[in-house]
Amino acid sequence: MEENMTKDLESTSMYHLFAKLFAHVAKEVSDSFGDEGKEAIKRGVKNFGEERGRDIARRAKAKGATNDVANYLTSYDMDRSDFFESEDTYGEGQVEQLFTRCIFADQWKKDQTEEYGYLYCEMIDPSIARGYNENLECIHEKHFFKDGVCTFCFKMKE
């Protein structure tokens, strides 16, 4: 009987757990402090993202690369797993990403906590880019929650 019970359990990963933890914390802060709480969450994500970006810049420097757009993704700090599906397109002075799968968005949608996931998604990539290079702009036009895909365009400000 116990064997049948474990077959019904979904496997979990740190990605799943991160998404769930973030949503629980964001919900509690939002419920307790309203819009001020949501703004605090966004500031926390911004600070976290900028710290990650500075670390990515240090990774680029350690490889002998400059922290420009061409070296951004190749120096990135988070490995892509099967939980993410994306296509990177390099152009002159920019790189575009199209994500067709994101474990974070999948988990937030499954748990019906998209409003809290959006607090993360809205802030994280622009903040990482800014921490990496204050002149690296991140344009995030499409979002999983509204569009079913996420798109990013990273380019240097003129």
pLDDT of 3 reads 55
pTM over the 0.85 mark = yes
Asked if residue 44 belongs to a domain, the reply is yes
Asked if residue 24 belongs to a domain, the reply is no
| Alpha carbon distance 102, 106 (integer Å) | 6
pLDDT of 78 reads 84
DSSP summary character for residue 148 = S
User: How many domains does one find in the chain?
Assistant: 1
Asked if residue 18 belongs to a domain, the reply is no
Asked if residue 140 belongs to a domain, the reply is yes
Asked if residue 132 belongs to a domain, the reply is yes
Structural domain range at position 124: 36-156
pLDDT in tens, the chain (158 residues): 455 555 566 778 899 999 999 999 999 999 999 999 999 999 999 999 999 999 999 999 999 999 999 999 999 998 777 899 999 999 989 999 999 999 999 999 999 999 999 999 999 999 999 999 999 999 999 999 999 999 999 999 97
Strand ranges inside the chain, DSSP E: 84-91, 94-102, 136-139, 150-156
pLDDT of 109 reads 97
Asked if residue 89 belongs to a domain, the reply is yes
E strand or H helix at 58:
helix 14-62
Reference 24, options 140, 107, 130; nearest CA is 107
* Cβ-based neighbour number of residue 53 at 10 Å: 25
Asked if residue 86 belongs to a domain, the reply is yes
pLDDT of 1 reads 47
CATH label of the domain that carries residue 116: 3.30.1380
Asked if residue 25 belongs to a domain, the reply is no
